[in-house]
Amino acid sequence: MSAPVLELAGVDAGYGQFRALFGVSLAIGTGSATALIGPNGSGKTTVARVASGLLEPTAGTVSVNGVDMTGRPAHDFARAGVAHAPEGRSVFATLSVEENLTLSFRARFGRTGVRSGLDRAYELFPKLSDRRTQNAGSLSGGEQRMLTLARVLVVEPKLMIADELSLGLAPIITTEVYLVLERILASGTSLLIVEQHIDHALALAHEVVSLERGQIIFAGPPDAIDASASFFLAQP
């Protein structure tokens, strides 16, 4: 069996004197999706930051494709194929949609790869093609989220960490974004989906991990969750 794309083993992590994670262990296989759920403050975003190298754990290990990456900087995780789409909208507001994408793709693919990157971005998110000359700051919240995702997904990462994709989005836009994630998953990219509103994540996931107060309280397939067991589920 091949090594998991991502494996956290006995991870503790926090911020200064505040400890946010306690002995968290999880593994994500190639081409699979894991939904990480739990209420606000449960440690979901901290797991995402540890998994992408943005936060170094105080104990435990983080491995990518069987290689111990613990303590390495985030750009090493990126080179290993880990992409992190954080909550919120990370765009250059005064630049056009196409300028935002071009900056990203030129840095990743070089000048000659920009055109194919743009074509792929517009294929994934046709709305961005319609808005290509529009300043990113004037886009709707959903369109800004699409732009952020396009910059990540065109790189075709081995693992994408999607942090609170539905936050602040209209239901119809959330559905559209998750349809793109379904296509990405089918192409072989693994997913770690961090969500508070869980319906879409559960529909896509092969495994669910539920956190409470920085500890895993459930790990298993989505159909093993009893919908009446509210402690498994994120609370709005």
- Give the C-alpha separation, 12 to 165, whole Å: 25
- Give the C-alpha separation, 172 to 142, whole Å: 10
- Give the C-alpha separation, 139 to 130, whole Å: 11
Q: Closest by alpha carbon to 190, among 153, 164, 220, 160?
A: 160
Q: Are 45 and 220 in contact (CB under 8 A)?
A: no
- Give the C-alpha separation, 97 to 145, whole Å: 12
In this prediction, residue 229 carries a pLDDT of 43
- What residues have CB less than 8 Å from 105, skipping those under 6 apart? 113, 114, 117, 118, 121, 151, 154
Render 47-97 in DSSP notation, one character per residue.
HHHHHTTSS--SEEEEEETTEE-TT--HHHHHHTTEEEE-SS----TTSBH
In this prediction, residue 23 carries a pLDDT of 98
Q: Which amino acid is at 120?
A: R
203, containing H or E segment? helix 199-204
Burial class (CB in 10 A: 0-12, 13-18, 19+), 72: middle
Average confidence (pLDDT) per 10 residues, the chain, 236 residues: 86 95 97 92 94 97 96 95 78 91 87 90 92 92 87 88 84 87 92 87 92 93 65 47
Whole-prediction pTM: 0.86
- Give the C-alpha separation, 149 to 127, whole Å: 13
Q: Closest by alpha carbon to 103, among 147, 139, 134?
A: 147
- Give the C-alpha separation, 3 to 186, whole Å: 19
Q: Write down all domains in the chain, each with its CATH number in brackets.
A: 6-223 (3.40.50.300)
- Give the C-alpha separation, 217 to 11, whole Å: 15
Instruction: For residue 185, count other CB atoms closer than 10 A to its CB.
Output: 19
Complete edge-to-edge strand list for the sheet that includes strand 67-68: 18-28, 6-15, 59-64, 67-68
Q: Are 14 and 50 in contact (CB under 8 A)?
A: no
